[in-house]
Amino acid sequence: MKILTLNLRYDKPDQGNNDWKFRRYAIAKLIQSHDPDIIGTQEGKAHQILDLHRLLPQYQSIGTDQIGNGTGEYCAIFYQIKRFQCIKSKDFWLSDTPNLVGSMSSTWGNSTPKLVSFGVFISRETQQQITVFNTHLDYHSEQSRKLSIPLIQKQLSQVNPENSLLILTGDFNAEPNSEERLALLKPLSNKIKLLDSLSDIPLESQQTFHDFTGEAIAAVDTIYYDHRLPLKSVTIDINQIEDIWPSDHFPVMAEFNSLIATPS
């Protein structure tokens, strides 16, 4: 099983080859080359998600946008429809009122709503269930990021480990040794422990944000995975596609040996 996470870079628009009208094809080729089963994306606007559907018809996606009316950024999760069936999907907002669509809390410090999208998927081959959460934490407010973690963990803890494996993808806008990222490594109340797929490589090699320069400066993107899943490999793809950077973030892709849970 292959899981990929990628901040798409919202269609600002950017200049030259960094413009979405060019990057969309580069992203599609990148995805086709890796052939991931499930993809956590961040920052995509509605037309960007639609473009990827047109270019990648083998995928379906779930998730709403941060505003809740289709005008904001999405944390869309794409999945290969021939390999997985989605049996449930939900979104919640990172605020004091997580079930209120588009909500923000004034004391958190973020200026735009932030959300988590998640889906419950069943492998058509093995019938194994996997629950995938995907998020994009606030860039400016450390307070918002710190308050977001307990909310996310509360939802992660509701996954029944007897029925499902667990994955968390995202742009966390925080370094691996930050308080908020370290908190995600603590065992959940359902006894699942998440592991950082990039933790065994040097910190400087975990960097993913490069601002369209190719020189990464921040380790903010990763894939957290259920401790019962055997990690085969993890890669940060630092390559251009036909002289175009697919995004201002490098994608992270983790491959697992099996979609069958191993004993804890």
Q: What angle do CA 116, 51, 103 make, to 5 degrees?
A: 25
Q: Using CB atoms within 10 A of its CB, is residue 144 exposed (0-12), middle (13-18) or buried (19+)?
A: buried
Give the tens place of pLDDT for each residue, 7-55: 999 999 999 999 999 999 999 999 999 999 999 999 999 999 999 999 9
Is 204 within the bounds of a domain? yes
- In this predicted structure, what is the pLDDT of residue 235? 98
Q: How far apart, in whole angstroms, are the C-alpha atoms of residue 222 and residue 169?
A: 6
pLDDT grade for 259, boundaries at 50, 70 and 90: low
Please name the residue that has the structure tokens 């699942």. 192
Number of domains in the chain: 1
Q: Give the residues across from 194 on adjacent strands.
A: 226
Q: Which amino acid is at 7?
A: N
pLDDT grade for 262, boundaries at 50, 70 and 90: low
Give the domain range for residue 231: 2-256
Is 264 within the bounds of a domain? no
Is 92 within the bounds of a domain? yes
Q: Give the residues across from 59 on adjacent strands.
A: 80
Instruction: Specify the long-range contacts of residues 21-24, CB closer than 8 Å, at least 24 apart.
Output: 22/244, 23/244, 23/245, 23/246, 23/247, 24/48, 24/51, 24/52, 24/55
Is 261 within the bounds of a domain? no
Domain containing residue 126: CATH number: 3.60.10.10
Q: Which two tokens stand for residue 143?
A: 């307070």
pLDDT of 263 strictly over 90: no
Q: How far apart, in whole angstroms, are the C-alpha atoms of residue 158 and residue 131?
A: 11
pLDDT grade for 260, boundaries at 50, 70 and 90: low
Is 103 within the bounds of a domain? yes
Is 249 within the bounds of a domain? yes
Is 262 within the bounds of a domain? no
Give the tens place of pLDDT for each residue, 10-20: 999 999 999 99
Greatest C-alpha distance within the chain: 51
